[in-house]
């Protein structure tokens, strides 16, 4: 388990640092923060596959165009790595993180169609200035976000987002009732009206101007029991 957090907007990198610190329990092995001109990505690391510092995050692609903060595990990363190596990509680490990053660099958000695993990730495109965010097929890994007039924030846990003073504190009574009654809330709603959950099997993109676009790449199959 790792933790990710960050934003696209006018806030200080110190906000992202505080957000990342708030989820330190998700990744006790290290922390990282990357910031550049209105975007900041943070990461809390639980080292599993490649324990070296070279596999720390946020991680830059070989081209330096993309920066990734990622939580999860890609089960078929070995197969994907071999495919990318055969295409001429040289790897610096043994991590699934780098495989995901270089696959994204090649295929963009379409890379989610190739992933067998559990994940929540955010990639910043330094050239086109677009943030791409994705959550795994069944939503095993959590991802919360807030799209505000000032900008866009995301994190692995809701409490991290509350460290931004611009997040409205208006309560969603129906979501609170669902949580009290069923110990979870269905759909995208959370106890804070301004904070949403990225749905399982979904992606979104955020431009530097704050435009948010949602997309769904996976739906749970429905079987006919007749």
Q: What spatial distance separates the first Cα and last Cα of the chain, rounded to whole Å?
A: 40
Which residue among 2, 111, 164, 202 is the active-site one?
2
Q: 74, exposed or middle or buried, with CB in 10 Å at 0-12, 13-18, 19+? A: buried
Q: What's the DSSP call for residue 114?
A: G
CB 4 within 8 A of CB 17: no
Q: Choose among 151, 159, 122, 145: nearest CA to 194.
A: 145
Strand order in the sheet with 130-135: 59-60, 66-74, 117-125, 130-135, 202-207, 212-216
Told to judge if 2 belongs to the known catalytic residues of this protein, a careful annotator would answer yes
Distance CA 169, CA 108 (A): 35
Q: Which residues are catalytically annotated?
A: 2
């Amino acid at each position: 388990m790792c933790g990710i957090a960050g934003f696209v907007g006018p806030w200080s990198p110190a906000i992202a640092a505080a957000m990342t610190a708030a989820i330190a329990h998700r990744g006790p092995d290290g922390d990282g923060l990357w910031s550049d001109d209105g975007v900041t990505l943070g990461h809390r690391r639980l080292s599993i596959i490649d324990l070296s510092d070279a596999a720390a995050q946020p991680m830059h692609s070989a081209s330096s165009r993309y920066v990734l903060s990622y939580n999860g595990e890609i089960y078929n990363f070995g197969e994907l790595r071999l495919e990318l190596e055969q295409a001429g990509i040289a790897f610096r680490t043994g991590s699934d993180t780098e495989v995901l990053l270089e696959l994204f660099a090649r295929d963009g958000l379409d890379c989610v169609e190739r992933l067998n695993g559990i994940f929540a990730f955010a990639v910043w495109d330094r050239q086109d200035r677009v943030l791409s965010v994705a959550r795994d097929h069944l939503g095993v890994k959590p991802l919360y976000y807030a799209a505000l007039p000032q900008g866009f924030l995301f994190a692995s846990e809701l409490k991290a987002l509350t460290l931004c003073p611009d997040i409205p504190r208006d309560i969603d009574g129906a979501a609170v009732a669902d949580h009290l009654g069923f110990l979870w809330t269905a759909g995208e709603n959370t106890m804070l009206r301004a904070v949403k959950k990225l749905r399982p099997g979904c992606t979104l993109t955020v431009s530097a101007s704050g435009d948010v676009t949602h997309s769904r790449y996976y739906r749970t199959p429905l079987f006919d029991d007749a």
